[in-house]
Amino acid sequence: MANAARGDCHRRTRRLKGLYTKMIYIDFHTHQVPVSQDVVAVVAGRDTWGVHPWDSLPQPLQGRGERLSFPSEKDLVEGGFLAIGECGLDALRGPSLERQEEVFVQHIALSEKTGKPLIIHCVKALDRLLRLRKALRPSMPWMLHGFRGKPQQLRSLLDAGLFVSFGHSHNAESIRLCPAERLMLETDDQTEHTIAEIYNNVAEKRGLDVAALCKVMAENYRAFFQKVPLLA
């Protein structure tokens, strides 16, 4: 048993060394399965589960006599999902913000019960999002994906303890100011720019080489998902 344990430890050590010596591009939120062998992608619907705020209207909820259609906590844990989401609030599209908030709160509860972090879509509803976070005081990490806001909005997210994920379209000053330990990068649903291109762009703006940025992203993956990012 001791030899087997040492063998497992050595194998894990080799994986971790490989993680920091090989360039791995982590795509923290995407709707495409990667074709490149040097990309670790968190694919919506495959690696995460959630009801997008645009689709909140038909979603039944607990506590109002409605039929429950959310998956069970057991299914989410056994299904190997990394996170809950994307979910959240969108003032420009979808049902009323009141209805979206009802559904979002259920996602927050599911995140807490399953011990899985939350990936959030938020458009023109940042104040409402932050009020919810302050009121509910979740213990699991939250990440706002596709952030395009200005530094003042970035500061409010950082002060609330969120991770912030940037895509190809972003505010250049915000990308420079975001602390490395809260920064994430993504392709989302666009296909014009690869995750490697986004890394190159961000590394240049932050005055880093790409290998250093890849290392930061690997560390943030571990902090957020509590897992080591391994290539398929």
- Which residues pair with residue 90 across a beta bridge? 123
Amino acid at 135: A
91: tokens are: 């003032």
Question: Does 214 reside within a domain?
Answer: yes
Decide if 88 contacts 120 (C-beta within 8 A). Answer: yes
Task: Note the pLDDT of residue 62.
Answer: 52
* DSSP state letter for 46: T
Q: What is the pTM of this model?
A: 0.85
Q: Are 213 and 178 spatial neighbours (Cβ–Cβ below 8 Å)?
A: no
Task: Say if 14 falls within a structural domain.
Answer: no
Each residue of 76-108: b (16+ CB within 10 Å) or e?
A: beeeebbbbbbbbbbeeebbebeebbbbbebbb
Q: How many Å apart are CA 143 and CA 218, to the nearest integer?
A: 15
In a domain, 16, yes or no: no
Which residue range is the domain that position 203 belongs to? Answer: 24-225
209 lies in a domain? yes
134 in a structural domain: yes
> Would you say residue 74 lies in a domain?
yes
Give the tens place of pLDDT for each residue, 198-224.
999 999 999 999 999 999 999 999 999
CATH number (domain holding residue 195): 3.20.20.140
Residue 124, domain member (yes or no): yes
Total domains in the fold of the chain: 1
The H-assigned helical ranges of 22-96 are 73-78
2 in a domain, yes or no? no
pLDDT digits (tens, 9 = 90+) for 63-98: 544 444 678 788 887 888 999 999 999 999 999 999
